[in-house]
Amino acid sequence: MELLYNTERLVEIIGDFLQSCKGYGIPEWVLTLGGGVVVAVIIAGFIAVNTLILVLAERKVSAFIQDRLGPMRVGPWGCLQTVADALKLLQKEDITPKKADRLIFFLSPIIVFAPAVMAYVAISWSPKIRVADINLGLLYIFATGSLGTLGIILAGWSSANKWSLLGGMRSAAQIISYEVALILSVIGVIMLSGSLNLENLISCQKDCWYIVYQPLGFLLFLVSAIAETNRAPFDIVEAEQELVGGFHTEYSAMKFAMFFLGEYASVFIASALCATLFLGGWQPVPGLPAVVPPIIWFLAKCYLIVFIIMWIRWTYPRIRVDQLMGFSWKFLIPLGFLNIGLTGFIMAIRG
């Protein structure tokens, strides 16, 4: 708790410092660049730590669902297990297949990871903690989300492995189908608030969260977001039992870890977006006094969504690739349009 309060203070201090630097004749672009580097390091650090937590949570949640204990040996209650795993991954030999396209093979993990870092810039963590108040924040996050897929497809192609190639092809088909459904699902929210700015979206939900007005939109968003982040039951891109790992079959060591970081970073972004759009962001439940700091509210909501995503993963079988496309085009997208129509209709009636 103390730490989180201090986080808010720290953000203010950094901001003040950057402001005060202007007085000393340092050119503005140096400040912008310096600020950018600091922010990038903080975000990358957060992603790394958060991934460690999420992987441990994933293993503990799956253990809980599957009637077992999960990791118990490293650290109390196994809580250092993922740290040990990360250290092990760092030490492993980095293998590049002989026939791989070396340049693209090297670039793809970066192309997956970098957009995930970029997306964190637009998230509004609390009234005080946010990196940039982007006017079209929502669109920005979607744009960065579509960049990451490029890395997955290139990884699949450059590995010179047919299974990876199939994974890459599946990824392309999946993203093209689900990006449409994802964006359609949030249009209802945008219509209600009349803004793409995440700050505005949150302040519009002061009295009532959008999940109340947009229950269908929420469900559609959740399903499409799970598909966008390649999580089960839509994890056809890696599909361990079908494609033996898919696009990351040939990856090892730190490059593999980058894919892992990218995946969990985007899962968290999807949850953060879900919390922002439908659960009132960092605001407490309407009517409750704001006892705990907003960032705790925000993180709690994010982790709740993450938990739901994990719960779904460990419960459902995997959907088949053509059924996945059909599900998006024949079910999610029509429902998305229906949701937009209904929202518009009700808005028109109520003026």
Partner 1 sequence: MEIAFYILAGMAVTSAILVVSLKNLVRAILALASLFLSIAGLYILLSAEFLGLVQILVYIGGVILLFLFLIMLTENLFEKNKVNLFQRITGVGLVLLLFSIIISIFMKQPFQAIPKTDYSIQELGKHLLTDYLVPFEVVSLLLLVALIGAIVIAKKEENK
Partner 2 sequence: MTTHKMTLNMGPQHPSTHGVLRLVLELDGETITACEPHIGYLHRGIEKLAESKTYHQFLPITDRLDYIAAPSNNLAYCLAVEKLAGLEVPKRASYIRMIIAELTRIASHLVWLGTHALDIGAYTVFLYTFRERELILDIFESYCGARLTTTCFRIGGVPYTIDDGLKKQIADFIKIFPKKIEEYEGLLTKNPIWLNRTQNIGIIPKDTAISYGLTGPTLRGSGIDRDIRKVNPYSCYDEVEFVVPKGRGIGDVYDRYLVRLDEMRESVKIITQALERLPDGEILADCPKVIPPKKERVKTEIAALIHHFHIMTEGFELPKGEAFLSIEAPKGELGFYIVSDGGNKPARLRIRTPSFANLSCISEIGKGVMIADMVAIIGSLDIVLGEIDR
Which residues in this chain contact partner 1 in the complex, by CB under 8 A?
Answer: 29, 101, 103-104, 107, 134-136, 139-140, 142-147, 149-150, 153-154, 156-158, 165, 168-169, 172-173, 175-176, 179, 194, 196
Which listed option, partner 2, partner 1, none, makes contact with residue 290 (CB within 5 to 8 Å by class)?
A: none
CA distance 314 to 165: 26
CB of 303 to partner 2, least distance (A): 21
Q: Which residues pair with 130 in a beta bridge?
A: 124
Nearer of residues 1 and 348 to partner 1, judged by Cβ: 348
Nearer of residues 59 and 128 to partner 2, judged by Cβ: 59
CA distance 280 to 126: 11
Which listed option, partner 2, partner 1, none, makes contact with residue 25 (CB within 5 to 8 Å by class)?
A: none
Nearer of residues 140 and 282 to partner 1, judged by Cβ: 140
Alpha helices in the chain (DSSP H): 2-21, 28-65, 81-91, 102-120, 137-158, 162-193, 198-204, 210-213, 215-228, 240-243, 253-278, 294-313, 321-326, 333-350
End-to-end CA distance of the chain: 44
Q: Which residues pair with 124 in a beta bridge?
A: 130
What CA–CA distances, in Å, run from 237 to 228, 256, 260? 11, 15, 14
For residue 233, cis peptide bond before it (omega within 30 degrees of 0): yes
Which listed option, partner 2, partner 1, none, makes contact with residue 188 (CB within 5 to 8 Å by class)?
A: none
CB of 278 to partner 2, least distance (A): 24
Instruction: Give residues in contact with partner 2 (CB under 8 A).
Output: 62, 65-68, 162-163, 166, 169-170, 232-233, 235-236, 239-244, 313-323
CB of 243 to partner 2, least distance (A): 7
CB of 136 to partner 1, least distance (A): 5
CA distance 42 to 125: 14
CA distance 280 to 287: 13
CB of 314 to partner 2, least distance (A): 5
Which listed option, partner 1, partner 2, none, makes contact with residue 67 (CB within 5 to 8 Å by class)?
A: partner 2
Nearer of residues 62 and 200 to partner 2, judged by Cβ: 62
Which listed option, partner 2, partner 1, none, makes contact with residue 242 (CB within 5 to 8 Å by class)?
A: partner 2
Nearer of residues 307 and 329 to partner 1, judged by Cβ: 329
Tokens in use for 73?
Answer: 């040996």
Nearer of residues 14 and 139 to partner 1, judged by Cβ: 139
CA angle (39, 45, 47) in 5-degree steps: 100
Alpha helices in 66-195 (DSSP H): 81-91, 102-120, 137-158, 162-193
CA distance 281 to 275: 5
Which listed option, partner 1, partner 2, none, makes contact with residue 4 (CB within 5 to 8 Å by class)?
A: none
According to DSSP, residue 134 is labeled -
Which listed option, partner 2, partner 1, none, makes contact with residue 239 (CB within 5 to 8 Å by class)?
A: partner 2
